[in-house]
Structure 1
Amino acid sequence: MAGLESLQAEMQIDSAAVASYLTQFIAAKVEELEREGVILGLSGGVDSAVVAALCGRAIGPDKVLVLVMPDKDSRKEHFQDALTLAADLGIDTKVINLTNWLKEVDAYRLFALTKYSFLGKLRERIMKAAYGYYRKKTGETPFSSSLLGFKDKDFSSYLKTGNAYYRLKHRLRMVLLYLHGELENRLVVGCANKTEYKIGFFVKHGCDDAADVMPLLDLYKTQVKALAQQLDIPRHIIEKAPSPDILPGINDEEAIGLSYKELDLILLALEKGWAESEISQAVGVEKERVEYVKGLIQRSDHMRQTYFPKLQNNV
């Protein structure tokens, strides 16, 4: 119990002080890099909501532009949450529907369920069932399997096409953010948090990776939620199940296979150098869960760097 209490205590942040520090950071980078404002993607989730609020405080809402970039499969509630939040914050919004862009490169052909949007909730149940079947057959989640390549893996054809489909959406959003950012001399602000970045729950070169600054990259997901309360983000945005809104019916915790509450404590304990058995006992999870998280960190290492050969003696 003492171990758990120490982790929980260390996870606590001074939300007001953190908010002040991050707003100063954003304002300083805008000035240092000679930009006239900032731009970010607003999804309707808590991470981008927090970043939008921080940016508004840092440089004024009149210098903040958010792009809301749904496609035909996006959930309407996330789209509406994004628009409502932007209006509440007083920041400019551009809505860019990705559907025609994705059709142009035949992206929807990669994911068969996109053809059956008329199925509604049934389509979500089919996706959940497929996710569960994969875990039962392979002992892994599709997410963990996708951190590396698919050589000699079961269901590799489905994994390849599924990844190509959803990663394309993130990368298209990144392209549009930089297009508008450069046209208007704006700093591109990313919304990734420490939890997702450490385990590889992001798309390399996507809108949650490629950015000029990442204000939340040293905050775990639970800390981001605490910061959201400080910034008066609407409670339903803070409390709704986090979701990349890419695959129907699958939220973050289902994709990862752990709750953020457990995951953050495991990550913090690993960062502090605790033994796996010690973490298991303190957090109240099986040792295999801790090993799983360590594996995610190791397998996603390549996503956080670019490999290049180092020459020795000019050879």
Structure 2
Amino acid sequence: MKHLDIDTTKAIREISDYLEDLVRRQHTDGVILGLSGGLDSAVLAALAVTALGPDRVRVLYLFDRDSDPQIAQNARLMAQILRLPLEEIDITGDMKRRGVYKPLFPKVLRLSKTVARISTRMFRRICGMSPFMATLRVGRGETLRPWYKQALFDHTIKQLDWGFSQRHLFRRQAIETRARQQNLSIIGAANLSECEVGWFVHGGIDDLPVQPMTGLYKTQVRQLAAALNLPATVRHQLPSPDMAKGVSDEFGIGHDYSVIDIVIDALAQGRTAAEIAAEGVEKVEIEDIRRLMELSDWKRRSPHEVPPVSGAFGSPLRRDASPPSRRRMA
């Protein structure tokens, strides 16, 4: 995907300048972020240390009984490399009090990775859509028809999505509390790819007002990870929402990020499905990703600062910076 390549040196410099300016503007003593152990938060933590030094960066790892131990190891590894004290907070008790572990379906999913895959196939076959697309449709106020599709959703995917949302909302609240106590600016690690398809919790930890990387595709965040010399175990980790065994970001969304990025970028240029398909993307994937972008519009209504860099086609950050011949109409 050479056409998604960016000038990583310029991106790192501009994000660093932005973080320095953020601290000045907000009159804080530094920044705080959730270090989940995933790629995005690891990149953001490294960028924050580059900009401010380790003494002005605080990181939290908020986990519960269903969290992946490998992700925890990556969070600790990044904290050690960046010379940051990692505050680890077990939120299991809080989630238990909220009733997150009571529903039956999430309990079944914890049995094995195979359960998640079988359940997804069955849901798609019965409802004619992915579980994720169903959450977007219901979230924007739709009722699934006929009645049995809504009933199936209510007794399965709704339970999982609710528990996932509770974790992300609580994590945001916890970080906001720490930020007030320690006079720190909160920064989030969301990227453009997940924002455009709605793979985040509205009002949650990935929907913060300040998110320096929401102008960059996942592909481009990976480029930053390489430029920052992040360890291979972090750079090559499968992106995961840490919600159930066998559920990675790409499994949940239904598409690989490499394909998502190609499609979003091409649609932003105003290119047709036929033109995108000529790059080797199946038309059914193009239509599904376009539909996810439409259905997730309600998630993108929170106020956010404009990110300091953009990896969009035509931006000075892109290696192929010539302007597109057509632009998608607003």
TM-score, reference length from structure 1: 0.89
Deviation for aligned residue 1:156: 2.2
Does 1:143 pair with 2:141? Answer: no
Q: Work out whether residues 203 and 302 of structure 2, in 8 Å CA contact, stay in contact via their aligned partners in 1.
A: no
Deviation for aligned residue 1:116: 8.3
- Residue 124 of structure 1 aligns with which residue? 113
For structure 1, list consecutive stretches of 5 or more residues without a partner in the other structure. Answer: 1-7, 308-315
2:233 and 2:159 mapped to 1: Cα distance? Answer: 33
One-letter identity of the residue aligned with 2:224: L
Deviation for aligned residue 1:306: 5.8
Residues 264 and 124 of structure 1: is their aligned pair in 2 closer, same or farther, counting only changes over 3 Å? same
Does 1:108 pair with 2:101? Answer: yes
- Residue 79 of structure 1 aligns with which residue? 72
Q: Work out whether residues 34 and 41 of structure 2, in 8 Å CA contact, stay in contact via their aligned partners in 1.
A: yes
1:230 and 1:127 mapped to 2: Cα distance? Answer: 35
- Residue 191 of structure 2 aligns with which residue? 193
SS in 2 for 1:95: strand
SS in 2 for 1:285: coil
RMSD over aligned CA atoms reads 1.6
1:230 and 1:306 mapped to 2: Cα distance? Answer: 31
- Residue 20 of structure 2 aligns with which residue? 27
Q: Work out whether residues 190 and 215 of structure 1, in 8 Å CA contact, stay in contact via their aligned partners in 2.
A: yes
One-letter identity of the residue aligned with 1:304: R
For structure 2, list consecutive stretches of 5 or more residues without a partner in the other structure. Answer: 304-330
Indicate which of 86, 109, 122 corresponds to 1:133. 122
SS in 2 for 1:72: coil
Indicate which of 190, 201, 206 corresponds to 1:208. 206
Q: Work out whether residues 166 and 247 of structure 1, in 8 Å CA contact, stay in contact via their aligned partners in 2.
A: no
Does 1:89 pair with 2:82? Answer: yes
One-letter identity of the residue aligned with 1:194: L
Aligned length: 294
Q: Work out whether residues 62 and 92 of structure 1, in 8 Å CA contact, stay in contact via their aligned partners in 2.
A: no
SS in 2 for 1:69: strand
2:202 and 2:144 mapped to 1: Cα distance? Answer: 23
Does 1:10 pair with 2:3? Answer: yes
TM-score, reference length from structure 2: 0.86
One-letter identity of the residue aligned with 2:278: Q
Q: Work out whether residues 68 and 94 of structure 1, in 8 Å CA contact, stay in contact via their aligned partners in 2.
A: yes
Q: Work out whether residues 108 and 115 of structure 2, in 8 Å CA contact, stay in contact via their aligned partners in 1.
A: no
Deviation for aligned residue 1:151: 1.4
2:128 and 2:109 mapped to 1: Cα distance? Answer: 29
Q: Work out whether residues 34 and 62 of structure 2, in 8 Å CA contact, stay in contact via their aligned partners in 1.
A: yes
2:66 and 2:239 mapped to 1: Cα distance? Answer: 17
1:49 and 1:291 mapped to 2: Cα distance? Answer: 32
Give the structure with the larger helix fraction: 1
2:300 and 2:215 mapped to 1: Cα distance? Answer: 14
| Deviations 1:62-109, CA, capped at 9 Å, x for gaps | 111111011001010101110111111011211111100011122111
Deviation for aligned residue 1:111: 4.8
SS in 1 for 2:90: coil
- Residue 170 of structure 2 aligns with which residue? 172
